[in-house]
Homo-oligomer: A and B are copies of this chain.
Amino acid sequence: MLSEFDLIARYFTRPLRPGSAAALGVGDDCALLSPAPGHQLAISTDMLVEGRHFFAGADPALLGHKSLAVNLSDLAAMGARPLAFNLALALPSADEAWLEPFAQGLLALADSHGCDLIGGDTTKGPLNICITVFGEVPGEQALRRSAAKPGDEVWVSGTLGDARLALAALLGELTLDDASLAAAAPRLHAPAPRVALGLALRSVAHAAIDLSDGLAGDLGHILEQSGVGATIDVDALPAGPVLSCQRPELQRAYCLAGGDDYELCFTAAPAMRDAVLAAAQASGTPVRRIGAIEARPGLRLLDSAGRPCDIPLNSFDHFATP
Interface residue ranges, A against B (CB under 8 Å): 1-5, 7, 23-24, 27-35, 37, 40-53, 74-75, 77-78, 80, 86-91, 93-94, 118-126, 128, 130, 132, 134-135, 137, 139, 142, 144-146, 208-210, 225, 317-320
The answer for the CA separation of A35 and B74 in the assembled complex, in Å, is 21
The answer for the CA separation of A40 and B118 in the assembled complex, in Å, is 14
Complex: chain B residue closest to A93, CB-CB: B319
Closest CB in chain B relative to A70 CB, distance in Å? 10
- Evaluate contact between A29 and B74: CB separation under 8 angstroms: yes
- Evaluate contact between B319 and A86: CB separation under 8 angstroms: no
* New A-B pairs, 16, CB < 8 Å, besides A28-B225, A29-B77, A49-B124: A29-B78, A30-B77, A30-B78, A30-B135, A32-B142, A41-B41, A43-B86, A43-B134, A45-B120, A47-B88, A49-B126, A51-B125, A93-B319, A94-B319, A124-B318, A125-B126
- Evaluate contact between B33 and A145: CB separation under 8 angstroms: no
- Report B-chain residues with C-beta under 8 Å of the C-beta of A75: 29-30
Of A3, A44, A74, A94, the most chain B CB neighbours within 10 A belong to A44
Please tell me which one of the listed residues B53, B74, B91 contacts residue A123 in the complex, with CB atoms under 8 A apart.
Answer: B53
Closest CB in chain B relative to A59 CB, distance in Å? 20
- Evaluate contact between A145 and B29: CB separation under 8 angstroms: yes
